[in-house]
Amino acid sequence: MWGICSRMVKVGMAKPCGVVKPCYLVKPVSSSRITGRYLSHQKGLPSLPVPPLQQTCERYITALEPIVEVDELTHTKELLDDFQKPGGVGERLQRGLERRACNTENWLSEWWVQVAYLDYRLPVVVHSSPGLVLPCMHFSDKQGQIRFAAKLIAGVLDFKTMIDNETIPVEYLGGKPLCMNQYYEVLSSCRIPGVKRDAVVNHAKSSRPPQHITVVHNFQFFMLDVYNSDGTPLTADQLCVQLDRICSSSLQANTEPVGILTTQHRDAWGKTYINLIKDRTNKESVSAIQRSIFTVCLDGPMPQVPTNAHRSRAAVQMLHGGGSLWNSGNRWFDKTLQFIVGEDGTCGANYEHAPAEGPPIVALIDHVVEYTRKPDTVPTAMAPLPMPKKLHFNITPELKKDIEEAKKGMNVLAEDLDMRVIVFEHFGKNVPKAHKMSPDAFIQVALQLAYYRMYQQCCATYESASLRMFRLGRTDTIRSASGAAAAFVKAFDDPNKQNTEKVDLMEKAVKAHKAYTNLAISGQAIDRHLLGLKMQAAEEKISIPKVFKDTSFAKALHYRLSTSQVPSKTDCVMCFGPVVPDGYGVCYNPMNQHINFAVSSFNTCKETNAADLAHAVENALLDMRTLLEQTPPRAKL
Ligand code: COA
C-alpha cells in the first residue's frame, strides 16, 4: 500500500527513523527541464498548506470517537492536551513543518514517497501494486492476443506523444485545476530494490530517453525498439510483426522465471538483486527492463473457472498473475507500468504505486482502449525491422535457490488472497444523484452499513482523497467511519426506528462524508498532517511524542476497510489487496447505471470473506435505495 494510495497501515505507523535520502528518489519533474505549458500550469497551482495544529487535534478526537473505547479516548485527549500546550512539542513541530513548507515545493511529497512506498518492505505484489481489469476483449487465440497487444502498444505511444508534447488536457476536481506531475512519472520509470529502502529511477528525464519497451512471453524478456529511425512510433502492423517474432522465439517456458524475484519481500529482493547484477549480462538485461518505457506481458493461460468467476480471476491475473505455475513469473513487478494481455481476451495492467495514483493510470488506459477500438488500417509495405533483442540471464545455483524461494512465497500469497469482483447492476451514480446525494458518499455509507451488519461494530476506514489541487500533491485520507455514519448504521436495522428518522440519519451521514471529502481535498484532513508532525520529530531528532505511540493512534491506522474510488470512462475496475491481515481492500468504479467493485481479503483470516462483504455491500446499497423510495420527501424530517 501502498504504500496504498496510500491506504497502507504502515503509512501512519512508519518507523520514526531518520530521513536519509536514497540515491534516486522519485523527484518531481525538474522545473529547469520543462518549459511552456506544463511549467506555467504547475507554477499556478497553490502549495499544500500545513493545517492549524488545534484544528487537527480536534478533528483527530472526532475521528476516533466511533472506533475506540471511551477510556482510550480519554487517555488520548490527555496526551493531546499535553502535546498542544503553549510552548510544547506540538507547537515546535508545527513551526518546523511550516518552515519546511516555505522551503520546499510540497512539504509532504518527498516524505510521503519514502514512508508510504520506498520504506515499505512487504512484497509490492498484492500489498502495494494495484491491478486493473479491462473489459474482456474479443479474441481467443495467439493471433488475437498479438494483434490486440500491438494496438495497445501503439495506443500507449500515442498517449506518450501527448506527454512529450505537454498537451495532456489539464484535469479538474470540483472546478479546480489539478497537478499534472504524475503523468511525467509513469513512463520509463522503475522501482529499484534496496536492502533497507528502495528507490525509483525515471529515465524519461535522462538526456537520451529510452526508445524501447520490454515484452515478456513464457517468462522470457525481450527488448523491443518502438520507434523507427525517423523518430516515428512503430505502427500497429509493424508491432504485430515484432511481437510475432518474439512469440515464435519463445514458444516454450523453458527458462528460469527471473521475474518472479520481483515478488519477494523487499529486503530479500534487495539482497538477491545485488547478486543478480554482479553478472554483466544480467546487469545489462535488468537495466534494459528498468530503462524501458513500459512492459507488455503476453500471458499464458490461467486456471479454468466457471463463467461467473471470470472477472475475479482476471483481477487475480492483474494483481499477482496466479502463482508461479501460471503467470506470476511473466512480470517484472518493479516496473511502473505493465500491460497484461492474456490469450483468451483477458486484459489489464499492474502498476507500481510509488510514482503515481490510479487516476492518471486510468486516464492513460481510457485513451488506449479508445485507440484500440479504431478500425484496422490497410496494411502497407514495411521496411524490415531489426529482430527484438532477447534479454539473457545467467542463473547461478544461488540465484536458482532464490527463484525457488520466491516461487514458494508467491504461491503462499496467491493462495491467501481472496478476490471477488462484482458488477452491481441495479443502479449507479444516477440514483444517489436523483436523491441529491454525492454518489461517492452514498457508496461509502453503504460500505459502513455492510461492515456494521457483518461485525456489529465500526472500523477505521480509509478512502483516498486527491491532494492534486496542490503542486506535487498525492493523497490524504477520508475517514469514512464518522460519528454520523455510526449513528446511521446503528439505526438502520433497529425495528424501533421510524423510516423518516433513518432517512434523516442517512442524509446526515452522506453529508458528513462529503464534508470530510471537501476538507481532505483542500488539504485540511488530519492524517498527512499527523504524519508530518511525526516525521518532523524524527527530522529534529527528538523523541516521538506519546500521541503517536498511543493505542488510539494504532487503532486509527489499522484500516480494516481500505477503500478507493477510481473512476474511468472504460467499464473497468481497479483492485488491490487488504492493508491489514484482518481487513478488506475495496476499489470501485461508479458508472452512471452500475458500479464495478473489486473486494479482497486474506483466506488466512477466518473472520473475513471477500464474497460475503461484496454481498453485504450489494444488500446495503439496495436497502438504502428502498428506504429512500419508501420515504416520500415531504415525510422526511
Ligand atoms: N447531488 C447531485 N449530484 C451530486 C451531488 C449531489 N448532492 N454530489 C455530487 N454529485 C455529482 C457530482 O457533480 C459528480 O457529477 P459527474 O458524474 O457529472 O462528475 C458526481 O456526482 C460524482 O461526485 P461524488 O460522488 O461526490 O464524487 P467525486 O467525483 O467528487 O469524487 C473522490 C470523490 C473522493 C473520489 C475524489 O474527490 C477524489 O479525491 N478522487 C481521487 C481518489 C484517488 O486518488 N484514488 C486513487 C487511489 S490509487
Query: Domain 122-173+188-416: which CATH class?
Result: alpha beta
Distance of CA 567 from the midpoint of ligand 1 (Å): 9
Q: What is the DSSP letter of 233?
A: B
Distance of CA 446 from the midpoint of ligand 1 (Å): 16
Reply yes or no on whether the pLDDT at 149 is more than 70. yes
* Mean of pLDDT values over 66-86: 98
Of the candidates 202, 194, 13, the one whose C-alpha atom is nearest the C-alpha of residue 118 is: 194
Pocket lining: 428 vs ligand 1, CB cutoff 6 Å:
no
Reply yes or no on whether the pLDDT at 11 is more than 90. no
Catalytic residue set? 353
**Nearest C-alpha to atom 31 of ligand 1 is from which residue?**
440
Pocket lining: 475 vs ligand 1, CB cutoff 6 Å:
yes
Distance of CA 589 from the midpoint of ligand 1 (Å): 11
The confidence score (pLDDT) of residue 253 equals 77
Return left, alpha or beta for 472; rule: phi > 0 is left, psi -120 to 50 is alpha, else beta: left
Which atom, in ligand 1's list, is nearest to the CA of 2? 48
Domain limits of the chain?
8-116+420-630, 122-173+188-416
Pocket lining: 432 vs ligand 1, CB cutoff 6 Å:
no
Pocket lining: 67 vs ligand 1, CB cutoff 6 Å:
no
Pocket lining: 565 vs ligand 1, CB cutoff 6 Å:
yes
Q: Quick check: 237 and 382 in contact, CB under 8 A? A: yes
Work out the percent of the chain whose per-residue pLDDT is above 90. Answer: 89
Long-range contacts of 491-495 (CB under 8 A, 24+ apart): 492/449, 492/452, 492/623, 492/627, 493/453
8-116+420-630 CATH, one of 3.40.190.10, 3.40.30.10, 3.30.559.10, 1.20.120.1200:
3.30.559.10
Q: Tens digit of pLDDT for each residue in 476-504?
A: 999 999 999 999 999 999 999 999 999 99
Pocket lining: 464 vs ligand 1, CB cutoff 6 Å:
yes
- How do strand 347-351 and strand 131-133 relate by DSSP bridges? antiparallel
Q: pTM for the complete prediction? A: 0.94
Distance of CA 623 from the midpoint of ligand 1 (Å): 22
Distance of CA 179 from the midpoint of ligand 1 (Å): 17
Which atom, in ligand 1's list, is nearest to the CA of 466? 39
Q: Tens digit of pLDDT for each residue in 345-391?
A: 999 999 999 999 999 999 999 999 999 998 887 777 778 999 999 99
Distance CA 501, CA 283 (A): 66
User: How do the residues of the chain divide into helix, strand and coil, expressed in percent and rounded to 5?
Assistant: 45, 15, 40
**Nearest C-alpha to atom 32 of ligand 1 is from which residue?**
465
Pocket lining: 129 vs ligand 1, CB cutoff 6 Å:
no
Distance of CA 326 from the midpoint of ligand 1 (Å): 38
H helices of 44-168, in order, are 53-64, 70-84, 89-103, 109-112, 124-127, 142-164
Tell me whether the CATH fold assigned to 8-116+420-630 matches the one assigned to 122-173+188-416: yes
**Nearest C-alpha to atom 9 of ligand 1 is from which residue?**
438
**Nearest C-alpha to atom 4 of ligand 1 is from which residue?**
438
Which atom, in ligand 1's list, is nearest to the CA of 514? 26
* Mean of pLDDT values over 268-275: 98
Pocket lining: 476 vs ligand 1, CB cutoff 6 Å:
no
The confidence score (pLDDT) of residue 375 equals 85
Given pLDDT bands bounded at 50, 70 and 90, which one contains residue 237? very high
Which atom, in ligand 1's list, is nearest to the CA of 353? 48
The confidence score (pLDDT) of residue 35 equals 54
Pocket lining: 276 vs ligand 1, CB cutoff 6 Å:
no
